[in-house]
Chains A and B, each alone.
Chain A
């Protein structure tokens, strides 16, 4: 899932400075599961903001609303009437970066602010602990690397590891960070597939250097669509 972390309160407070009526929009999918931007987090943040602003003598009216998915127009539409009637002077979003942008795009006349820092595509290792596993590089090499991602998990994103810094199975950057390539080596050895990494992996072409669009086979982009 996509994981995110709430921004430091001081940063959020600074962004909202001067705004008096704000709607904070949560997202019920990924960020909700990773405890960053669901209904509960929206309520907690709003209470915090309200209290601080009151203490500062600059009261704010802040409402919360959490929709199923902010990256989906169908669910965003739910906000239209609320926003029209509410006359908010700013919006805040606790969705991932994708959701925040979609919200901002739908209401281009209202300033929209992020309340979270989106951190990546991660697995849930234990309650509250999420480990990044994919940088969505567009050319998945997991077949060659025994199902362990070198782009994400190797600190240097090497394609021909493990490098000379591998330290007792950990990466040279920290004794807390397992070396991805050490794990790749061990996994492939266990599968009797070391040949897979004995060959040279040639320099790859990065095709994530321009904004990517994905149109699934059998579909096409609608013509004249406003974006």
Chain B
């Protein structure tokens, strides 16, 4: 696919990746309310500094402004959204309807996820839908886009133009399975992958080595997930409380080793060193920066990571 130049959605992100340039994407969590200004405020820091911005979908199972609505606000603000959709909250009818609506209004990238279990959120006893899973969702979007057919097989008029993204967590076990799962997502139709936040570089190098060996990285664009640590507390929380997160002790020690008022800068330093390595890592095509509730730091991080200015494809 890396060699294939025809555009599937024509999104900015797709153009940058297909031209062989190193992509840099960001993230924006919609507000827990209807305040448009909250979205605009966050968007301000991302504009011009990232190629596309993930708009999360009821992230951590907390109710927020819907991801497609926030995606449209992002478009108004001059950002390109990467519309996230989880399988937890909608059945196949609602999903297909939203994919069509999103495409009609200019959304060109989407990220297909299973979604965190509702148990973690603010409505823990909600009924989880999971009508289809993330891999089936990827396949459904691909079918709608490339074959012009609904999941049912019926014809649709005006295929949605979407650059299809999927997630990968190289750190969840069993480790050997993670490459197979990546292969399944590619076979289902994923055009690009955004990984879980990476802290254990050794394990990630091994994951990419295996993915290279299987030829997977020639068939999909991989964006390495980076989240700078803001504090020692955050690092410990990520290590102990967040399922599927792998934070080596070295990271915590390094943060503990600097003056208190330097910890967040050290977190950014670590992130930038990682980004430097990703730029030359075979099989990695970009970075996905998840600066959670730290959007205002994105310009600074992007500058320090030397990923500016961002390319402006035609």
Contacts and interface: CB of A to CB of B under 8 A. Distances in A.
Interface of A: 155-169, 172-173, 182, 185-186, 194, 198, 200-203, 206
A86 to B, nearest CB: 40
Contacts of A182: 173-174
Given A185-B177, A198-B180, A198-B184, A165 B133 contact: no
Contacts of A155: 117, 119, 128
Main secondary structure of the interface of A (DSSP, over half): loop
A202 B196 CA distance: 25
Nearest to A168: B173
A167 B187 CA distance: 25
B244 interface: yes
Contacts, number: 92
B183 A198 contact: yes
Given A200-B184, A200-B187, A159 B244 contact: no
A165 B132 contact: no
> Taking each of B167, B168, B184, B243, which has the highest tally of chain A beta carbons within 10 Å of its own beta carbon?
B243
Interface residues of B, number: 36
20 contacts: A155-B117, A155-B119, A156-B87, A156-B133, A157-B130, A158-B130, A159-B135, A160-B134, A163-B133, A165-B243, A165-B244, A167-B173, A167-B243, A167-B244, A172-B243, A173-B119, A173-B120, A182-B173, A200-B135, A203-B151
Given A165-B172, A166-B172, A158 B114 contact: yes
B189 to A, nearest CB: 10
A156 B128 contact: yes
Interface string B161-189: 00000011100111001001101100110
Contacts of B130: 156-158
Contacts of B183: 198
A158 B243 contact: no
Interface of B: 87-88, 92, 114-117, 119-120, 128, 130-136, 139-140, 151, 167-169, 172-174, 177, 180-181, 183-184, 187-188, 196, 243-244
A160 B184 contact: yes
Given A157-B130, A161-B133, A198-B180, 15 more contacts: A156-B87, A156-B114, A156-B115, A157-B128, A158-B130, A164-B114, A164-B169, A165-B117, A166-B243, A167-B172, A172-B116, A200-B136, A200-B139, A201-B136, A203-B136
